[in-house]
Amino acid sequence: MHFIHKYGSPNYFYQWSGTWLKILSALTLILMALGLYWALIISPPDYQQSETVRIMYIHVPSAWMSMFTYVVMASAGVVAMIWRIKVAEIVVAQSAIIGASFTLLALVTGMLWGKPMWGAYWVWDARLTSELVLLFLYVGVLAIYSAYEDPRTGAKAASILAIVGVINIPIIHYSVEWWNTLHQGPTVTKFDSPSAPLSMLTPLFIMFFAFKTYFFALLFARTRNALLSRERHTSWVQEILEK
């Protein structure tokens, strides 16, 4: 478990994440531009939903990322709980903010799609309700984190909620299969025969990778900033400031 201490040392983290931040930012720019152009202009309309289908290219990646971010946050929570790594504690708080934003984006785009397609902005089915619970979990983690004077104590308490809440992730994913829901079942993860043509799946996957690189770029940028501010009195930050 030596690598956890190595990559998690504030000084070394700041160095290696700097390189990755540049690569990820460049990738995000390219993928986002290509993905949005393909999704909003090149890809065909749907036979039933016509142009409304384009909401999917934002909605589905944000919904996937809302769950992925939670897993990242909970994993950082485990590292923070067991190894007490400072960087992991900061990652918990920063991914909570980003995750809450992805969740909100998924909920809002879903509502905008639901009104014209289903006939209602919101229904209390298992998928929509469990995704709303996810938003509350993120907000709860943030609230606990900032409720303590000492950020390290706050991180410990917030990590516990982050870890416990991971149970919600399989519930969200399988809600459409376990219970009758108004929300449709999976389209893409039926890998043997996805129920969408390549002309729609290609822009969706580009958007998915764009969201993923965007997430990591944002996470690194935010964590680096928080780390500098938290460690501002240490010698390695002073050295960076002098350069």
Partner 1 sequence: MTPKRKQRMIFVIVLVVGFGAATALALFAFQSNLLYFYSPSQIEAGEVATDQMFRLGGLVVEGSVARHADGVTTSFDLTDTADSITVSYTGLLPDLFREGQGIVAQGKINTDGVFIAQEVLAKHDENYMPPELAEALQAAGGSHPESIPKTQ
Which residue in this structure is represented by tokens 């504690």? 89
197 binds partner 1 (CB under 8 A): yes
106 binds partner 1 (CB under 8 A): no
- Enumerate the H helices of 118-192 as residue ranges: 126-146, 151-164, 168-178
Rounded CA gap, 208 and 218, in Å? 15
User: Judged by CB under 8 A, which of 3, 41, 51, 119 binds partner 1?
Assistant: 119
Between the CA of residue 176 and those of 50, 131, 133, 226, 232, what are the distances in Å? 24, 12, 16, 38, 48
User: Judged by CB under 8 A, which of 9, 111, 118, 173 binds partner 1?
Assistant: 118
Number of Cβ within 10 Å of residue 86's Cβ equals 18
From residue 38 to residue 67, the character string flagging contacts with partner 1 as x (rule: CB under 8 A) and all else as - is ------xxxxxxx--x--x-----------
- Contacts of partner 1 in 127-186 (CB under 8 A): 160, 163-164, 166-167, 171, 178-182, 184-186
5 binds partner 1 (CB under 8 A): no
User: Judged by CB under 8 A, which of 32, 123, 139, 228 binds partner 1?
Assistant: 123
81 binds partner 1 (CB under 8 A): yes
Rounded CA gap, 216 and 104, in Å? 18
75 binds partner 1 (CB under 8 A): no
Tell me the number of residues near partner 1 by CB under 8 A.
46
Q: In DSSP terms, which residues pair with 50 in a beta bridge?
A: 46
126 binds partner 1 (CB under 8 A): yes
Number of Cβ within 10 Å of residue 108's Cβ equals 14
Q: Hey, what are 138's tokens?
A: 């993120």
Rounded CA gap, 33 and 210, in Å? 9
195 binds partner 1 (CB under 8 A): yes
Rounded CA gap, 66 and 166, in Å? 12
112 binds partner 1 (CB under 8 A): no
By beta-carbon proximity to partner 1, the closer residue of 18 and 185 is: 185
Region class of 84: left (phi > 0), else alpha (psi between -120 and 50), else beta: left
Q: Please list, in sequence order, all residues whose beta carbon lies within 8 angstroms of the beta carbon of residue 65, skipping any fewer than 6 positions away.
A: 99, 102, 211, 212, 215
Q: How far apart are CB 228 and partner 1 at their closest, in Å?
A: 28
By beta-carbon proximity to partner 1, the closer residue of 34 and 196 is: 196
200 binds partner 1 (CB under 8 A): yes
Residues binding partner 1 (CB under 8 A) = 1, 44-50, 53, 56, 78, 81-83, 116-120, 123-126, 160, 163-164, 166-167, 171, 178-182, 184-187, 190, 193, 195-200
